[in-house]
Amino acid sequence: TVQGGALKAGREVISAAFSPDGKSVLSASVDCTAKTWNAQSGELVHTLSGHRRRLRSAAFSPDGALAVTASDDLTAKIWNVGSGECLHTLQG
């Protein structure tokens, strides 16, 4: 939600990034989720769930179609930004 001109992500946000086209924001939180947001309206688009520990970072691919999240659970996950689906889990 938009609160005072800011996206309200819930728990502490570790990182946030704009998509290459500037239309979306990707946030990573200590609650083990990443979220995609409409940058203009502040509306939540998807909650990316599946990590078991806090996230450390999140980033868009150069074309904005994919996102990657990294977690203290020793995994990185690759996500389809349009659907919110986890495509791959990278261990290690």
Spatial contact of 66 and 58, defined as CB atoms under 8 Å apart: no
pTM: 0.86
Share of the chain above pLDDT 70, in %: 88
Residues recorded for the chain: 92
pLDDT 10s digits, 56-66 = 999 999 999 99
pLDDT of the residue at 92? 80
For residue range 25-46, list pLDDT tens digits in order.
999 999 999 999 999 999 999 9
Strands of 86-91's sheet in order across: 55-60, 66-71, 75-80, 86-91
Q: Kindly provide the b/e burial profile for residues 17-41, where b requires at least 16 CB atoms within 10 angstroms of the residue's own CB.
A: eebeeeebbbbbbebbbbbbbeeee
Radius of gyration of the chain (CA): 12
